[in-house]
Amino acid sequence: MTATLERRYRRLLACYPAAHRGTYGDEMIGVLLASARPGQRRPKVADTLDLFSGGLRVRLHRLATGTPDPAWRNALALTTVIAPILLALTVTVTGQALAPLAWSGSAHQLVYAFALLVPALLALAGLRWVAVGAAALTLGGTIAHAAGTAMIGIPAYSAFIVLLGVQTFALWYSAGPRQGLRLVKPVGLLIAIPWLLTTAYLASLIPRHYPVPVVIAEVGVGLIALAGLPALASPCGRRLLLLNVVIPLSGLVITILSFVHVDFYELRFTAALAAQYLPPAALSALTYYLIRRAERRPPELEVAR
Amino acid sequence: MTRQAIQEPTFLILTALAAGPQHGYGIMTDVARISGDRVNLRAGTLYAALDRLRSDGVIDVDREEVVDSRLRRYYKLTPAGIAMLEAEAARMQSNARVAVSRLKTLAAGA
């Protein structure tokens, strides 16, 4: 049935950016159907692989030529505001010494939390490349520290490290925190500030036992409110969620896998970890899927007109 | 334009359009014919290339038609695209000429 085949090919077109799909989606379906065998019901494997690599190429080309859609541009600029606050609060709230030195104690923690704000402050001062350098240095230092103390396998670190990576990328690629601050909606502060205070209070009840991924999820979602009240319903807000919460948390999956692979003696411990962190990872995947589904719909409706 | 040698699929797409405006499927079948079925472009590769060539100003949309209630675009070479294909064809021709003449010398010497 052509209709079945068409629906399946359309689903594969999801790997292209929405703008590309809007422009070429219809034509591509036409070409795919024209080159299908009579009675073919499933996409050919070669076509499927070709669509994946084509989608990747289009995305990379857009990235390289600096033409992401406005939602990505805004989300990346806002990320240069959100990620540093998120990183600093994570260190402050969890009481975990994520510093490149084996620091402990609340004073050191606060110093390190402040140090995490430095790249963003440098960018605010207009020193963009110094800021990117500082962010990259923090990332490198944290990875080296984690690797050096065999802590790379601790789930807390993978989420934290991935978030540092996201921040470095956003500082390098976006218009920076000045533009980001311009996008902050005053009404969002009314949500974000009480939210953050509540999280800080809850965390203070069980100091040093509040898992980093949970803080990133909670604080991250609270900070996304900065983009406005219905932020999560907007394309920019959904991308903020992806950059600041979903992607960092998805780092956990890798950690869990490495645990399972590396040390069977720790299996019970691993099972405990999986129970604790697989739900956030599954939630991340679900969020990503829902974002994609929500955004795939409009161009299809246009096509169906 | 200061460009490096263009890749074969791109060269073949531009060559297909040198015959006149064509739609996506037309380009695909033409490329297969020109290359003697050696290069078979698929939709993903083809439209990633068309998008890139359009944004580089090498090709442009000639006209749009609706066939079976589906949009069909015809693409054409822009003057920049014609210049690019000419330059590339000349470069390949000159390389091929040197290769052929040296092979002749080699064969004569053997």
The answer to whether the Cβ–Cβ distance between A55 and B44 falls below 8 Å is yes
CA of B65, closest CA in chain A: separation in Å?
Answer: 11
Environment class of A134 (CB within 10 Å of its CB; exposed 0-12, middle 13-18, buried 19+): buried
Residue with the two structure tokens 């695909």: B28
Does A112 score more than 70 pLDDT? yes
Q: How far is CA A274 from CA A143, A202, A268, A281, in A?
A: 22, 23, 10, 10
Summarised one tens digit per residue, pLDDT across range B67-86 is: 878 888 999 999 999 999 99
Model's pTM, two decimal places?
0.56
**Nearest-by-CA chain A residue for B27:** A31
Does A31 score more than 50 pLDDT? yes
Please give the biggest Cα pair distance in chain A: 72
CA of A15, closest CA in chain B: separation in Å?
Answer: 10
Residue A82 CB neighbour total at 10 angstroms: 30
Residue B87 CB neighbour total at 10 angstroms: 13
Helices (DSSP H) in B59-78: which residue ranges?
none
**Nearest-by-CA chain A residue for B72:** A27
3-state SS assignment for residue B64: strand
Residue among B29, B42, B46, B74 with most chain A CBs within 10 A, to mutate? B42
Q: Does B16 touch chain A (CB under 8 A)?
A: no
The predicted structure's pLDDT at residue B1: 44
Cα separation, A1 vs B36, in Å, equals 31
The predicted structure's pLDDT at residue A125: 87
Q: How far is CA A256 from CA A261, A274, A277, B72, in A?
A: 9, 7, 8, 48
Summarised one tens digit per residue, pLDDT across range B39-58 is: 889 999 999 999 989 988 99
**Nearest-by-CA chain B residue for A22:** B71
The answer to whether the Cβ–Cβ distance between A30 and B72 falls below 8 Å is yes
3-state SS assignment for residue A283: helix
Residue among A15, A24, A62 with most chain B CBs within 10 A, to mutate? A24
And the tokens for B15? 């060559």
Mean pLDDT (whole number) for A79-107: 69
- pLDDT band, very low/low/confident/very high, at A93 (cuts 50, 70, 90): confident
And the tokens for B55? 């944004």
Does A175 score more than 60 pLDDT? yes
Summarised one tens digit per residue, pLDDT across range A180-213 is: 888 888 888 888 888 888 877 777 676 556 677 7
Cα separation, B49 vs B43, in Å, equals 10
DSSP symbol at B110 = -
Using a CB-CB cut-off of 8 Å, the residues of chain B touching A30 are 24-25, 67, 70-72
Per the CB < 8 A criterion, the answer to whether A75 and A236 are in contact is yes
Mean pLDDT (whole number) for A12-26: 88
And the tokens for A186? 């005053």
Per the CB < 8 A criterion, the answer to whether B71 and B40 are in contact is no
Listed by number, the residues of chain B in 21-80 with a beta carbon closer than 8 Å to a beta carbon of chain A are 23-25, 28, 42-48, 50-52, 55, 67, 70-73
Q: Give the range with max mean pLDDT: A154-168, A190-204, A287-301, B10-24.
A: B10-24
Summarised one tens digit per residue, pLDDT across range A133-161 is: 999 988 888 877 766 665 544 556 777 88
Residue pairs spanning A and B at CB distance below 8 A: 70
The answer to whether the Cβ–Cβ distance between A46 and B42 falls below 8 Å is yes
Using a CB-CB cut-off of 8 Å, the residues of chain B touching A65 are 55
And the tokens for A256? 């869990």
Q: Give the range with max mean pLDDT: A73-82, A195-204, A242-251.
A: A73-82
Q: Give the range with max mean pLDDT: A21-30, A107-116, B94-103.
A: B94-103
The predicted structure's pLDDT at residue A58: 87
**Nearest-by-CA chain B residue for A54:** B44
Per the CB < 8 A criterion, the answer to whether A7 and A303 are in contact is no
Using a CB-CB cut-off of 8 Å, the residues of chain A touching B72 are 27, 30
CA of B107, closest CA in chain A: separation in Å?
Answer: 42
Q: Which residues contact A112 (CB under 8 A, 6 or more apart)?
A: A91, A97, A98, A99, A103
Burial A55-76 (b: 16+ CB within 10 A, else e): bebbbeebeeeeebeebbbbbb
Binding-site residues on chain A for chain B (CB distance < 8 A): 20, 23-24, 26-32, 34-35, 46-47, 50-55, 57-58, 61, 65, 67
What DSSP string describes A34-61?
Answer: HTSPTT--S--HHHHHHHHHHHHHHHHH
Using a CB-CB cut-off of 8 Å, the residues of chain A touching B37 are none
Does A271 score more than 70 pLDDT? no
The answer to whether the Cβ–Cβ distance between B43 and A50 falls below 8 Å is yes
